[in-house]
């Protein structure tokens, strides 16, 4: 994330690594298994939850950060979460509908950020005479409408969810659904070396990978939380103010770093992280 931001400030937009798919195509070879596959994206699917009392938080002997504990009970109302993250094509519709010029869609602080920072699209998007382009770790290219949108802030994610008549999920809602998955699949993480969210596939989607997903949950301690002893205790507890939780991992996250209970966190205006979103609905 750091080197991508540094490279994006160079007017030549240099790549961090070569695009595997482009290299394979130019050489007349088949694209490698990790290259982006053309998807067949149908109507959005929804993952429903009946609500009720659920438990969230880490348990067991495996590694976890202190902010993932203690495990505790949370009551949920019935809800549904979109099975796929919001795509760049869907976000472009938001842009073209004046999403960045309508104060009614934005939280007050978010609207102030739009004005102060001059936001008109996600970070690393650039409008050209030929259309929108996006800078990636493999260089600048045209936006693929089927890939998950990335590098949006909490404010932008919240505004988009409001625009479509939905909301962002809470972290407890996300975890209640993600915990039912058999494990994090290998796709969508750093091991694929795509270094950018890949277009959605026609196969059953996962809640993990491609983009970190903003939730509406403030980054705060779980009931009974105590910082871990030693240096690791400096990492999480001291940041539990003015930030929001993201879940799920992204295209530059090592696969073994992600689990259903993992709590990432950033300030609401942060855009350099690989943050995207899924829309939730009540009932």
Report the mean per-residue pLDDT for the chain.
89
pLDDT in tens, 113-128: 999 999 999 999 999 9
Coil, helix or strand for 164? coil
pLDDT at 181: 79
Which candidate, 237, 236, 246, places its Cα nearest to that of 272? Answer: 246
As a CATH number, domain 2-24+46-282 is 3.90.1580.10
Average pLDDT, stretch 61-75?
A: 93
- Asked whether the predicted pLDDT for residue 51 surpasses 50, the reply is yes
DSSP string, 170-224: PHHHHHHHHTTSSS--STTSGGG---SPPPPPSSPP-SSSSSEEEEEEE--PPTT
- Asked whether the predicted pLDDT for residue 260 surpasses 60, the reply is yes
Cβ pair 176, 215 in contact under 8 A = no
Tell me if the pTM is above 0.85. yes
Q: Name the least confident of 20-24, 229-233, 269-273, 275-279.
A: 20-24
Domain ranges of the chain: 2-24+46-282
Average pLDDT, stretch 29-45?
A: 45
Where is pLDDT greater, at 261 or 200?
A: 261
- Asked whether the predicted pLDDT for residue 34 surpasses 80, the reply is no
pLDDT-based confidence at residue 180 (cuts at 50, 70, 90):
confident
Coil, helix or strand for 119? coil
With residue 141 as reference, give the H or E element that holds it: strand 139-142
- Asked whether the predicted pLDDT for residue 198 surpasses 80, the reply is yes
pLDDT at 173: 98
């Amino acid at each position: 994330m750091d080197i991508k931001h540094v490279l994006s400030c160079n007017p030549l937009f240099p790549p961090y690594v070569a695009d595997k798919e482009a290299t394979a195509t130019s050489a007349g070879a088949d694209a490698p298994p990790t290259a982006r596959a053309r998807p067949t994206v149908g109507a959005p699917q929804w993952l429903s939850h009946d609500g009720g009392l659920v438990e969230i938080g880490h348990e067991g002997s495996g590694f976890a950060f202190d902010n993932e504990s203690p495990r505790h009970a949370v009551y949920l109302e019935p809800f549904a979460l979109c099975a796929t993250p919001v795509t760049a094509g869907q976000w472009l519709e938001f842009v073209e509908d004046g999403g960045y010029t309508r104060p009614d869609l934005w939280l007050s602080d978010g609207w102030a950020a739009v004005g102060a920072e001059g936001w008109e699209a996600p970070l690393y998007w650039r409008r050209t005479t030929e259309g929108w382009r996006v800078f990636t770790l493999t260089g600048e290219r045209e936006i693929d409408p089927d890939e998950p949108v990335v590098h949006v802030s909490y404010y932008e994610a919240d505004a988009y969810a409001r625009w479509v008549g939905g909301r962002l999920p809470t972290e407890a809602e996300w975890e209640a659904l993600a915990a039912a998955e058999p494990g994090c699949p290998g796709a969508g993480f750093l091991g694929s070396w795509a270094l950018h969210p890949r277009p959605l596939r026609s196969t059953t989607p996962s809640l993990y990978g491609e983009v970190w997903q903003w939730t509406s949950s403030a980054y705060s301690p779980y009931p009974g939380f105590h910082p871990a002893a030693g240096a690791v205790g400096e990492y999480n507890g001291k940041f539990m103010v003015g930030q929001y939780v993201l879940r799920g991992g992204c295209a530059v996250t090592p696969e073994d770093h992600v689990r259903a209970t993992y709590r990432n966190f950033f300030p609401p205006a942060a855009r350099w992280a690989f943050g995207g979103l899924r829309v939730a609905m009540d009932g």
